[in-house]
Amino acid sequence: MKKIFILVSNIVLVLAFLSAFAWIIKEANNNSELLGKSFDKAIIKWSSFPDKFSRAVEQVQNLPETFVATPESFQPINHLKNDVFVLVSFSKSNTSRIVQLKNLRTDSISKNWEIENLDNPHRRVLNPLLYHDNSIVYATIGIPGVFCIDESSKEIWKQKKIISHHSINKDHNNNVWLCTYPSLNVGEAKYDGRLRVDNRSIPYIDNSITCLDYQDGMILFHRSLSQILLDNKLEYILLKSSDASDPLHINDVQPVLKTSKYFNKGDLFISCKNISTVFLYRPTTNKIVKVIEGPFQSQHDIDIINDSTISIFNNNTHTKWQKTKDTSKNEKTLNVGPFYSEVLIYHFNNESFSKEQEKAITKNEIYSFTEGLCEKLVDGSFFIEEQNSSLIWILKNDSVLYKNVLKSKYPGYHHLSNWTRIIKK
């Protein structure tokens, strides 16, 4: 009986306390200042925490794909002695994006541009291109349109006939080269190609390379890569792909800015992920000068280091992720790997390959199944965008000089990286 009495008494006390607490909150919200203004503010803030927490959880659960979870153990590194300016893009809201020029060494911002009225919270502005007058050229991946805006984010021109994807680069005339599709004035990529194999018809997504006039966005050059392969009697390369519906998958068109012994000004390096091949193409003659294949797979991002050397970001992975089933009963297995992404250097003078920063990449397990890029900086270090995890690295002498993410306003999440561009001043 005594236990029941104590239990009932405790319940009454708890109810009395809750009633009093609720009354205090009510009075605080009515600005009665019953216990003082500071106390009212504190009690309102404390009592609203569950609502704010619920809203924060709901917001994070609904984040678009332009945000990435930051590892709990993540620790940034910054040992940079030289300025490193980069052009990045990230989400401001579901319908707007920011393009930002910043210095990685000081984490300072030089300039922002704002792109508004996007139709989808998942839309990405990839690899925007900066010009000397602070205008930028950009495209939103997956939908028609290439745009040029001035330093105040006001539109200078737009080219709505093409769909651009992956990299954007400028040539020696400042004109814009893009990865595109053959069909113009369409809303999405079409199956512009068709293979005939053993009396079977196989439709596929063809890719094109396109050049736009920097001044007004007019199309100066637009050609199907499949047609270029046909013209050069290289159409058999289409059959090497593990993806019959998307055999080429261009991801970079890198113009040559200076003539050397091995390539001419105006030539193009064209990277095709799904056939793990790099072409050196001469638009003036419609000739593929060189086909580069080798110890790389599903590569992205070609950069010209000097007059006889290029770098390749080797993703070093299957073109398409595949699961296999182990049906054997063999207790002995041959383990191969692990594989990580690589900074691969191709030397034209002896047609050989070498690797850069291999120890640091392996130690830090740097790997991007898709996308990703690398670039040699003026001090000999290498910038790497590990795109899938959206980690940014600068390595030198197999040591980490810089490691960071693009921080967002959401705790535990950072911005998805969108082909960060090194700006050399």
Entry pTM: 0.85
Closest CA to 420 of 84, 135, 88: 88
**DSSP state string for 96-144:** EEEEEEEETTTTEEEEEEEE---S-TT--B-S-EE-TTS-EEEEBTTSE
Helix (H) or strand (E) holding 274: none
Closest CA to 269 of 312, 322, 326: 312
Residues 115 and 418: beta-carbon distance below 8 Å: no
Residues 61 and 102: beta-carbon distance below 8 Å: no
pLDDT tens per residue, the chain (425 residues)? 555 656 555 665 655 555 555 555 555 556 655 555 565 555 555 545 444 333 434 444 579 999 999 999 999 999 999 999 999 999 999 999 999 999 999 999 999 999 999 999 999 999 999 999 999 999 998 899 999 999 999 999 999 999 999 999 999 999 999 999 999 999 899 999 999 999 999 999 999 999 999 999 999 999 999 999 999 999 999 999 989 999 999 999 999 999 999 999 999 999 999 999 999 999 999 999 999 999 999 999 999 999 999 999 999 998 877 677 776 777 788 889 899 999 999 999 999 999 999 999 999 999 999 999 999 999 999 999 999 999 999 999 999 999 999 999 999 999 999 999 999 97
